[in-house]
Amino acid sequence: MALVVYNTLTRRKEPFEPIESGHVKMYCCGVTVYDFCHLGHARSYIAWDTVRRYLTWRGYKVRYVQNFTDIDDKILNRAREEGSTMEAVAERNIQLYFEDMRRLNILDADAYPRATNTIDGIKRLIYELEQKEFAYAAGGDVYYAVQHDREYGKLSGRKLEDMQAGASGRVDDEEPKKRYPFDFALWKGAKPGEPAWDSPWGKGRPGWHIECSAMVREFLGETIDIHVGGADLVFPHHENEIAQSEAATGKSLANYWLHNGMVNVDGEKMSKSLGNFTTIRDLLDKKGIDPMVIRFFVLQASYRKPIDFTNEALSAAQNGWETLKDGLLFGFKLNSALEGEIDRTSQTVQEFQAAMDDDFNTSGALAALFPVAKELQRQGNILVHEGKTDTAPDILQVQWKTLVELAKVLGLEAEPEAESSGGLSDSEIETLIQQRKDAKKAKDFAEADRIRNDLQVQGITLIDKPGGEVIWHR
C-alpha cells in the first residue's frame, strides 16, 4: 500500500516519495509567541504531530523542525502594554507553549529555531536575493519584487493581475516605499525603541516570511519533503516563503505542502485578534476537559476540513474518548504485558493503515479502532463482574496491544493511574453501593448522589439497572 497525500501545490493527492529513501524532512510553521495558545493552534499542532507519528510508525526517520516567531509587531505591542521587553514576552509564551502542547501529548520537535537566533541566515538570504535582483532596498527597508518572479502565486493559485483589482484599499506605512503594492518586506528599518540588528541596509529587523525560508535552509536544507501549516498561511506566508527560497536557490523549497483546516466559531476562524478564542489552558483547567478529548475532537475530522467548535462536538468527542479509553485500559485489568510485536496483517491494522495512507484520514483510523475498543470495553465489564472474560485472554491481549499501539500513533494514550480507584477494594465498593441503596430507600437522595459522585471521582462508574440492580466498573 502506498501513502498518498494531498499536496496544496498541485491541488491533488499524490503518492508520497521522500527525497532520500526512508527519511522525511518536515518543517512546521510555529506560533507567534505573544499570548496563550488557543484551540486553533492545538488543532494545527495535533494534526502535524499525528502525521509525524504516523510517518515514524510507517518506518520513516522523520526530522521535524518547528520555529518560534519571537519578533513581531504583536509581541512588541504586548511588551509595551506590559512595560516589559520583547524577550520577556517571547520567553514566557514559549514556555507556556511547551506546557500546553506537552499536555496534549504533542511530541517535541527535533529543533525549535527562533527568528532572533537566525538573523545571520536571514541576512545572507536577503543579500542573495538582492544580488539576483529579486530584492531592493528602499528607505531602510528591503522588499521582495514579486513582479520579477514569474512563478509568484503558484501555491495559492493567485495571479498578480487579479490581486491588483482588490488592492486599492491597502494602505500602510510601507506602501510609499514599495515599487509595487504586493511586494513584501524582507527587512524592516529600525523604529525608535524597537529591537534592531545591524545589516548592510542599516539597523532593522527581519520580516515574518523570510525567517521561515532561512530556518528551513539552515536546519533542513534547500529542498525538504513536507512543509506544513494552517490553511490561512497559504497566502501570503507560504507563497512568500516559496518565492524567497526558490528565487535564492533555484530549487524547489518543499515537495509536498500540507495545510490544516481552521477551527471555526460560528463560521469564523478562532483567533486572538477576533477575540472568539478559547485557550488550551481554559479547556483543560477551567473546564476540566481531558487533553485526550481535545485530541480526539481534532482527530475526528479530516485535518484539511474546517471544524466548528461547539459544546455538542466536544461532548461527542468526550463520549468517543471514554469508549476508546476503556479499551486502552482493558489490559491493565487483565494484568497483561505490552511487550511483543503486534500482527501487522490483522484486519484492524490493515484498516487503520488504509485510512492513514489515504492522506492521514484520522477519522477513518479511529473508526478502525472503535470495534476493538468496544469489544474490550465489554469484556472489561464482564471481567469486573464475573471475574473472567468470555473470550480467551490471550486473544484479547493481542487485540489490546494492537489497540494501544495504533491509538498511540494518533497520540491517544490512557494512564492506568488516572483510573485508579484510590485503593478501594471490590468489597469496599460493594459496601458503598449498599449504603447508597439504603440512602435511596430512606429518600436521602443527596447522600445517594454524594456516594455516586465520590466513587466517580475515584474512577468507579455505577450503572443503575431496572429493578434496582447496580452494576459498576472501574
Ligand X SMILES: Nc1ncnc2c1ncn2[C@@H]1O[C@H](COP(=O)(O)OP(=O)(O)OP(=O)(O)O)[C@@H](O)[C@H]1O
Contact stretch for ligand X (CB under 6 A) within 154-162, 178-186, 229-237, 283-291: 229-237
Q: Of 189, 229, 320, 327, which one interacts with ligand X (CB under 6 A)?
A: 229
Report yes or no: 69 and 124 within 8 Å, Cβ to Cβ.
Answer: no
Contact stretch for ligand X (CB under 6 A) within 168-176, 266-274, 405-413, 459-467: 266-274
Q: Which is nearer to ligand X, 258 or 293 (CB)?
A: 258
| DSSP class per residue in 217-281 | HHHT-SSEEEEEEEGGGIIIIIHHHHHHHHHHHSS-SEEEEEEEPPEEETTEE--TTTT---BHH
Ligand-binding annotation for 212, yes or no, is yes
Residue of 434, 105, 427, 472 whose CA lies nearest to 292: 105
What order do you get walking across the sheet with 135-138 strand by strand?
Answer: 135-138, 141-144, 184-189, 204-206
How far is it, in rounded angstroms, from Cα 121 to Cα 102? 29
Distances, alpha carbon 342 to alpha carbons 333, 345, 395, 439, in Å: 20, 9, 12, 48
Residue 141 host element (H or E): strand 141-144
Q: Which is nearer to ligand X, 260 or 381 (CB)?
A: 260
Report yes or no: 471 and 385 within 8 Å, Cβ to Cβ.
Answer: yes
Q: Which of residues 9-48 bind ligand X (CB under 6 A)?
A: 29, 31-32, 40-41, 43-44
Residue of 462, 460, 474 whose CA lies nearest to 329: 474
How far is it, in rounded angstroms, from Cα 437 to Cα 470? 9
Q: Of 114, 178, 238, 269, which one interacts with ligand X (CB under 6 A)?
A: 269
Q: Of 233, 247, 372, 439, which one interacts with ligand X (CB under 6 A)?
A: 233
- Answer with the entry of ligand X, Zn ion, none that 272 interacts with (C-beta below 5 to 8 A by kind): ligand X
Site for ligand X contains 260 (CB under 6 A) = yes
Cis peptide, bond prior to residue 18, ω within 30 of zero: no
Report yes or no: 295 and 104 within 8 Å, Cβ to Cβ.
Answer: yes
Site for ligand X contains 273 (CB under 6 A) = yes
Site for ligand X contains 302 (CB under 6 A) = no
Site for ligand X contains 267 (CB under 6 A) = no
Ligand-binding annotation for 272, yes or no, is yes
| DSSP class per residue in 118-136 | -HHHHHHHHHHHHHTTSEE
How far is it, in rounded angstroms, from Cα 331 to Cα 338? 8
Site for ligand X contains 8 (CB under 6 A) = no
Site for ligand X contains 238 (CB under 6 A) = no
Ligand-binding annotation for 28, yes or no, is no
Enumerate the β-bridge partners of residue 143. 136, 185
Residue 372 host element (H or E): helix 362-386
Q: Which is nearer to ligand X, 231 or 293 (CB)?
A: 231
Q: Which residues bind Zn ion (CB under 5 A)?
A: 29, 212
Contact stretch for ligand X (CB under 6 A) within 164-172, 255-263, 322-330, 433-441: 255-263
Residue 49 CB, shortest distance to Zn ion, in Å, is 17
Q: Which is nearer to ligand X, 40 or 331 (CB)?
A: 40
Residue 411 CB, shortest distance to ligand X, in Å, is 17
- Answer with the entry of Zn ion, ligand X, none that 40 interacts with (C-beta below 5 to 8 A by kind): ligand X
- Answer with the entry of ligand X, Zn ion, none that 311 interacts with (C-beta below 5 to 8 A by kind): none
Q: Which is nearer to ligand X, 45 or 332 (CB)?
A: 45
- Answer with the entry of Zn ion, ligand X, none that 269 interacts with (C-beta below 5 to 8 A by kind): ligand X
How far is it, in rounded angstroms, from Cα 179 to Cα 137? 10
- Answer with the entry of Zn ion, ligand X, none that 43 interacts with (C-beta below 5 to 8 A by kind): ligand X
Residue 271 CB, shortest distance to ligand X, in Å, is 3
Cβ atoms within 10 Å, residue 364: 17
Residue 237 CB, shortest distance to Zn ion, in Å, is 5
Ligand-binding annotation for 41, yes or no, is no
How far is it, in rounded angstroms, from Cα 376 to Cα 397? 9
Q: Which of residues 39-98 bind ligand X (CB under 6 A)?
A: 40-41, 43-44
How far is it, in rounded angstroms, from Cα 31 to Cα 208? 12
Site for ligand X contains 308 (CB under 6 A) = no
Q: Which is nearer to ligand X, 269 or 295 (CB)?
A: 269
Binding residues for ATP: 272
Residues that constitute the known binding site for Zn(2+): 29, 212, 237, 241
Q: Interface residues with ligand X (CB under 6 A)?
A: 29, 31-32, 40-41, 43-44, 229-230, 232-233, 260, 262-263, 269-273, 277
Return binding residues: 29, 212, 237, 241, 272
